Amino acid sequence: MSRGSFGRSVARAAASGGSRSYRARPPILWYAAMVVIIVAGIGLAAYSRNERLHPATIGPTASDNWQVALAIDICGTLQANLPANSNLTSVGIRTFGNGLINVDPGAVTTGASAYEGVHATLGKFASSYPSFTLTSTSIKLPTKSSKTWANGESCTGPLKGAGTLEAKVWSSPTATGHIVTGDLTKLHLSNGEMITVAFVPKGASIPEPPSRSALLAALGTGSSSSTSTPASTTTTPKNG
């Protein structure tokens, strides 16, 4: 190869590698990306440490005494209040027969943790009440004449049609209710809440618990009139 051809080859190679000024330019974007990654890592580590030192808690605790209004609607007929638990002194979620669920984990001398936090569910109340059966698809009241009502079974009452188990929930006596479907046993109980468990045809109107006034009295908030309205949303209870 002649000296001239070699020189031209070197020149072409140098040109393909970019200008000297480009090669000398610092990789700003790379440094910026590294800074973002480091800052994000430090932030996540700090958040994780804070969560470990100060974990979020969900009530109730053994020192809480919550009240929840409860009603049961079978095919359009509101059922009578469940009588007081026959095992009042041995369970931490019970009823005194006034249409309210009393969530009081500290009522038991041992085993309060079984009724605290994520364990304070509608299913826990049902399983703590002798002969009351509540599953994800059926309900059976604790009376001798009661039958098991399972999803798809025809209603025989004021409402006709294939029934399904659902609930209407009000977060407070003055809140707007919303329909809850899915596994009602996982529905977490909250202080001041109202729940009507219903086995009714889809789309049927579900009334608020008649024990609303008892709930207001228990909460010490008087007897103001309800401002709840029919729900237009449907949710599914979260586990826990």
Q: Is the pLDDT of residue 19 over 90?
A: no
Q: Work out the number of other CB atoms within 10 angstroms of the CB of residue 182.
A: 18
**Greater model confidence, 215 or 7:** 215
Q: Give pLDDT tens digits for 197-221.
A: 999 999 999 999 999 999 999 999 7
Please give the mean pLDDT across all residues of the chain: 84
Confidence of residue 20 (pLDDT cuts 50, 70, 90): low
Nearest to 165 by CA among 143, 145, 187, 137: 137
Give the whole-angstrom CA distance, residue 145 versus residue 155.
Answer: 16
Determine the pLDDT at residue 33. 85
Confidence of residue 9 (pLDDT cuts 50, 70, 90): low
**Greater model confidence, 16 or 91:** 91
DSSP-assigned letter for residue 227:
-
Give the whole-angstrom CA distance, residue 150 versus residue 96.
Answer: 27
Name every residue whose Cβ is closer than 8 Å to that of residue 89 and which is 6 or more positions away in sequence: 107, 108
Q: Give pLDDT tens digits for 106-153.
A: 999 899 999 999 999 999 999 999 999 999 999 999 998 899 999 999
- What residue spans define the domains of the chain? 3-53, 66-235
The percentage of residues in the chain with a pLDDT greater than 90, rounded to a whole number, is 65
131 — alpha (psi -120 to 50), left (phi > 0) or beta?
A: left
Please provide residue 85's backbone torsions phi and psi, each rounded to the nearest 5 degrees. Answer: -55, 140
Determine the pLDDT at residue 227. 36
Confidence of residue 52 (pLDDT cuts 50, 70, 90): very low
Determine the pLDDT at residue 34. 83
142 and 131 in contact (C-beta within 8 Å)?
yes
Determine the pLDDT at residue 216. 97
Q: Is the pLDDT of residue 49 over 80?
A: no
